[in-house]
Protein backbone atom coordinates (compact mmCIF):
# COMPACT_ATOMS: atom_id res chain seq x y z
CA UNK A 1 0.00 0.00 0.00
CA UNK A 2 1.51 3.31 -1.10
CA UNK A 3 0.03 6.76 -0.88
CA UNK A 4 -0.71 8.61 -4.14
CA UNK A 5 -2.33 11.58 -2.40
CA UNK A 6 -2.08 13.17 1.01
CA UNK A 7 -5.44 14.81 1.62
CA UNK A 8 -4.72 16.46 4.98
CA UNK A 9 -1.77 18.68 5.83
CA UNK A 10 -1.12 21.98 7.62
CA UNK A 11 1.11 24.88 6.75
CA UNK A 12 2.56 27.63 8.93
CA UNK A 13 -0.68 29.54 8.25
CA UNK A 14 -1.87 27.42 11.22
CA UNK A 15 0.60 28.81 13.72
CA UNK A 16 1.18 25.48 15.48
CA UNK A 17 2.49 23.99 12.20
CA UNK A 18 6.03 24.58 11.04
CA UNK A 19 6.47 24.51 7.27
CA UNK A 20 5.39 26.76 4.46
CA UNK A 21 3.09 25.67 1.66
CA UNK A 22 6.10 25.65 -0.66
CA UNK A 23 8.03 23.33 1.68
CA UNK A 24 5.06 20.96 1.93
CA UNK A 25 4.74 20.91 -1.86
CA UNK A 26 8.44 20.12 -2.29
CA UNK A 27 8.16 17.29 0.24
CA UNK A 28 5.09 15.87 -1.54
CA UNK A 29 6.88 16.04 -4.92
CA UNK A 30 9.91 14.26 -3.44
CA UNK A 31 7.58 11.45 -2.35
CA UNK A 32 6.01 11.27 -5.82
CA UNK A 33 2.53 12.19 -4.60
CA UNK A 34 0.09 13.02 -7.41
CA UNK A 35 -2.20 15.12 -5.22
CA UNK A 36 -1.69 17.24 -2.10
CA UNK A 37 -4.56 18.86 -0.23
CA UNK A 38 -3.72 21.87 1.90
CA UNK A 39 -6.15 21.83 4.80
CA UNK A 40 -5.34 24.38 7.45
CA UNK A 41 -7.48 24.64 10.58
CA UNK A 42 -10.81 26.42 10.34
CA UNK A 43 -11.15 29.81 11.95
CA UNK A 44 -12.55 28.48 15.26
CA UNK A 45 -9.04 27.61 16.51
CA UNK A 46 -7.18 30.40 18.24
CA UNK A 47 -4.13 30.11 16.00
CA UNK A 48 -5.89 29.60 12.66
CA UNK A 49 -5.69 31.75 9.55
CA UNK A 50 -8.55 34.12 8.75
CA UNK A 51 -11.62 33.48 6.58
CA UNK A 52 -9.87 35.59 3.91
CA UNK A 53 -7.01 33.08 3.79
CA UNK A 54 -9.44 30.34 2.78
CA UNK A 55 -11.42 32.60 0.49
CA UNK A 56 -8.22 33.53 -1.33
CA UNK A 57 -6.92 29.95 -1.81
CA UNK A 58 -8.24 30.18 -5.37
CA UNK A 59 -5.14 32.26 -6.13
CA UNK A 60 -3.07 29.05 -5.89
CA UNK A 61 -2.43 27.11 -9.10
CA UNK A 62 -4.25 23.82 -9.67
CA UNK A 63 -0.98 22.09 -10.61
CA UNK A 64 2.58 22.54 -9.39
CA UNK A 65 5.22 20.57 -11.34
CA UNK A 66 2.54 18.09 -12.39
CA UNK A 67 1.10 17.57 -8.91
CA UNK A 68 -2.52 18.54 -8.31
CA UNK A 69 -2.93 20.94 -5.41
CA UNK A 70 -6.31 20.85 -3.67
CA UNK A 71 -7.56 23.83 -1.71
CA UNK A 72 -9.14 22.68 1.48
CA UNK A 73 -9.85 23.23 5.12
CA UNK A 74 -10.01 21.17 8.27
CA UNK A 75 -13.13 22.81 9.63
CA UNK A 76 -13.88 22.53 13.33
CA UNK A 77 -17.07 20.93 14.56
CA UNK A 78 -17.98 23.60 17.11
CA UNK A 79 -21.07 22.17 18.82
CA UNK A 80 -23.15 19.03 19.21
CA UNK A 81 -25.45 20.01 16.34
CA UNK A 82 -22.48 19.63 13.99
CA UNK A 83 -22.08 23.39 13.45
CA UNK A 84 -18.86 24.33 11.63
CA UNK A 85 -16.60 27.36 12.07
CA UNK A 86 -16.53 28.33 8.38
CA UNK A 87 -19.02 30.30 6.28
CA UNK A 88 -20.86 28.13 3.74
CA UNK A 89 -20.00 30.41 0.83
CA UNK A 90 -16.30 29.81 1.50
CA UNK A 91 -16.72 26.04 1.94
CA UNK A 92 -18.45 25.97 -1.45
CA UNK A 93 -15.34 27.43 -3.10
CA UNK A 94 -12.99 24.80 -1.66
CA UNK A 95 -12.09 21.47 -3.26
CA UNK A 96 -12.09 19.44 -0.08
CA UNK A 97 -13.62 19.95 3.35
CA UNK A 98 -12.58 17.85 6.32
CA UNK A 99 -14.57 18.21 9.54
CA UNK A 100 -12.98 17.36 12.88
CA UNK A 101 -13.44 17.86 16.60
CA UNK A 102 -10.58 19.54 18.50
CA UNK A 103 -10.40 20.09 22.24
CA UNK A 104 -8.98 23.56 21.60
CA UNK A 105 -12.33 24.61 20.08
CA UNK A 106 -15.05 22.41 21.51
CA UNK A 107 -15.60 21.10 25.00
CA UNK A 108 -15.87 17.35 25.41
CA UNK A 109 -19.52 16.36 25.77
CA UNK A 110 -21.33 13.10 26.34
CA UNK A 111 -21.12 10.13 24.00
CA UNK A 112 -24.69 10.88 22.90
CA UNK A 113 -23.81 14.52 22.11
CA UNK A 114 -20.81 13.46 20.03
CA UNK A 115 -22.98 10.89 18.24
CA UNK A 116 -25.52 13.59 17.35
CA UNK A 117 -22.78 15.93 16.14
CA UNK A 118 -21.29 13.29 13.84
CA UNK A 119 -24.70 12.40 12.42
CA UNK A 120 -25.27 16.09 11.66
CA UNK A 121 -21.80 16.23 10.05
CA UNK A 122 -22.71 13.20 7.92
CA UNK A 123 -25.84 15.00 6.73
CA UNK A 124 -23.95 18.24 5.91
CA UNK A 125 -23.42 18.33 2.12
CA UNK A 126 -20.43 20.73 2.45
CA UNK A 127 -18.36 18.10 4.29
CA UNK A 128 -16.44 15.47 2.32
CA UNK A 129 -14.34 13.78 4.95
CA UNK A 130 -14.59 13.07 8.67
CA UNK A 131 -11.20 13.83 10.28
CA UNK A 132 -9.53 11.69 13.00
CA UNK A 133 -12.85 10.69 14.57
CA UNK A 134 -11.14 8.20 16.87
CA UNK A 135 -10.23 11.03 19.28
CA UNK A 136 -10.49 9.72 22.83
CA UNK A 137 -12.08 13.02 23.97
CA UNK A 138 -14.93 12.75 21.45
CA UNK A 139 -15.97 9.10 21.51
CA UNK A 140 -19.28 8.36 19.82
CA UNK A 141 -21.50 5.41 19.00
CA UNK A 142 -19.33 3.98 16.22
CA UNK A 143 -21.75 1.12 15.44
CA UNK A 144 -24.56 3.61 14.85
CA UNK A 145 -22.70 6.38 13.02
CA UNK A 146 -20.28 4.59 10.67
CA UNK A 147 -23.17 3.28 8.50
CA UNK A 148 -24.56 6.85 8.42
CA UNK A 149 -21.22 8.11 7.07
CA UNK A 150 -21.61 5.54 4.31
CA UNK A 151 -25.22 6.58 3.64
CA UNK A 152 -24.10 10.19 3.02
CA UNK A 153 -20.94 9.24 1.05
CA UNK A 154 -18.53 10.61 3.63
CA UNK A 155 -14.96 9.38 3.58
CA UNK A 156 -13.67 8.36 7.00
CA UNK A 157 -10.11 9.42 7.66
CA UNK A 158 -7.48 7.08 9.09
CA UNK A 159 -5.13 9.68 10.50
CA UNK A 160 -1.42 8.85 10.78
CA UNK A 161 -0.79 11.71 13.21
CA UNK A 162 -2.98 9.91 15.75
CA UNK A 163 -0.34 7.19 16.04
CA UNK A 164 2.23 9.85 16.98
CA UNK A 165 0.33 12.30 19.15
CA UNK A 166 -3.05 10.80 20.15
CA UNK A 167 -2.02 7.43 21.56
CA UNK A 168 -5.14 7.10 23.69
CA UNK A 169 -7.19 7.22 20.48
CA UNK A 170 -5.52 4.30 18.70
CA UNK A 171 -7.91 1.63 19.98
CA UNK A 172 -10.85 3.71 18.73
CA UNK A 173 -9.19 4.07 15.31
CA UNK A 174 -8.86 0.30 15.07
CA UNK A 175 -12.55 -0.12 15.95
CA UNK A 176 -13.58 2.53 13.40
CA UNK A 177 -11.46 0.85 10.70
CA UNK A 178 -12.99 -2.53 11.51
CA UNK A 179 -16.49 -1.07 11.13
CA UNK A 180 -15.53 0.63 7.85
CA UNK A 181 -14.34 -2.76 6.62
CA UNK A 182 -17.57 -4.42 7.76
CA UNK A 183 -19.87 -1.76 6.23
CA UNK A 184 -17.68 -1.12 3.16
CA UNK A 185 -17.13 2.56 3.99
CA UNK A 186 -14.39 4.30 1.95
CA UNK A 187 -11.46 5.66 3.95
CA UNK A 188 -8.52 7.97 3.26
CA UNK A 189 -5.16 7.48 4.94
CA UNK A 190 -3.68 10.91 5.63
CA UNK A 191 -0.59 12.27 7.35
CA UNK A 192 -2.21 15.32 9.00
CA UNK A 193 1.31 16.69 8.64
CA UNK A 194 2.22 19.68 10.80
CA UNK A 195 5.63 19.96 9.13
CA UNK A 196 7.14 19.12 5.76
CA UNK A 197 8.87 16.12 7.34
CA UNK A 198 5.51 14.45 7.96
CA UNK A 199 3.94 15.00 4.52
CA UNK A 200 3.04 11.64 3.00
CA UNK A 201 4.22 9.72 6.07
CA UNK A 202 1.51 7.24 7.05
CA UNK A 203 3.48 4.10 7.94
CA UNK A 204 1.84 3.40 11.30
CA UNK A 205 -1.68 3.85 9.89
CA UNK A 206 -0.96 1.39 7.08
CA UNK A 207 0.53 -1.02 9.61
CA UNK A 208 -2.71 -0.92 11.60
CA UNK A 209 -4.84 -1.45 8.47
CA UNK A 210 -2.71 -4.40 7.38
CA UNK A 211 -3.10 -5.82 10.89
CA UNK A 212 -6.89 -6.00 10.47
CA UNK A 213 -6.66 -7.15 6.85
CA UNK A 214 -8.37 -3.97 5.64
CA UNK A 215 -9.53 -4.18 1.99
CA UNK A 216 -7.25 -2.05 -0.20
CA UNK A 217 -10.08 -1.18 -2.60
CA UNK A 218 -11.76 0.87 0.14
CA UNK A 219 -8.75 3.20 0.53
CA UNK A 220 -9.38 6.05 -1.89
CA UNK A 221 -5.88 7.54 -1.92
CA UNK A 222 -3.56 4.62 -2.70
CA UNK A 223 -4.59 4.23 -6.33
CA UNK A 224 -4.59 7.11 -8.82
CA UNK A 225 -7.63 6.00 -10.82
CA UNK A 226 -9.69 5.31 -7.72
CA UNK A 227 -8.71 8.69 -6.35
CA UNK A 228 -9.71 10.44 -9.60
CA UNK A 229 -13.11 8.69 -9.53
CA UNK A 230 -13.64 9.87 -5.96
CA UNK A 231 -12.53 13.45 -6.68
CA UNK A 232 -14.81 13.51 -9.72
CA UNK A 233 -17.70 12.42 -7.49
CA UNK A 234 -17.17 15.51 -5.30
CA UNK A 235 -16.83 17.84 -8.29
CA UNK A 236 -13.02 18.11 -8.41
CA UNK A 237 -11.66 17.90 -11.93
CA UNK A 238 -8.14 16.60 -12.42
ZN1 LIG B 1 -7.30 17.84 13.43
ZN1 LIG C 1 -5.19 18.39 10.97
Question: Is residue 150 domain-resident?
Answer: yes
Neighbours of ion ligand 2 (CB under 5 A): 74, 192
Question: Is residue 98 domain-resident?
Answer: yes
> What confidence tier does 165 reach under pLDDT thresholds 50, 70, 90?
confident
Q: Which ligand is the nearest neighbour of the Cα of 100?
A: 1
Tell me the C-alpha distance between 130 and 86, whole Å: 15
Kindly report the CATH number assigned to the domain that includes residue 87: 3.20.20.140
Number of structural domains in the chain: 1
Question: Is residue 155 domain-resident?
Answer: yes
**Cα 6 to ligand 1 centroid, rounded to whole Å:** 14
Tell me the C-alpha distance between 170 and 135, whole Å: 8
Question: Is residue 227 domain-resident?
Answer: yes
**C-alpha torsion sign, points 45, 49, 55, 58:** negative
Q: Which structural domain range is residue 216 located in?
A: 5-233
> What confidence tier does 51 reach under pLDDT thresholds 50, 70, 90?
very high
Neighbours of ion ligand 1 (CB under 5 A): 100
> What confidence tier does 1 reach under pLDDT thresholds 50, 70, 90?
confident
Q: What are the pLDDT digits (tens) for 14-44?
A: 999 999 999 999 999 999 999 999 999 999 9
Question: Is residue 133 domain-resident?
Answer: yes
How does strand 63-64 pair with strand 67-76? antiparallel
Question: Is residue 238 domain-resident?
Answer: no
Amino acid sequence: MRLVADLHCHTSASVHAYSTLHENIEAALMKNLRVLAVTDHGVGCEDSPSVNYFDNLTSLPEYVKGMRLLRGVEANIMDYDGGLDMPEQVLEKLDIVIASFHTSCTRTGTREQHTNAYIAAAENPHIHMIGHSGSAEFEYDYEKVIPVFKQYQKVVEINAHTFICREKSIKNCVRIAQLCKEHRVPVAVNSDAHSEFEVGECGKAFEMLRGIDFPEELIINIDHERLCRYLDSIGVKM
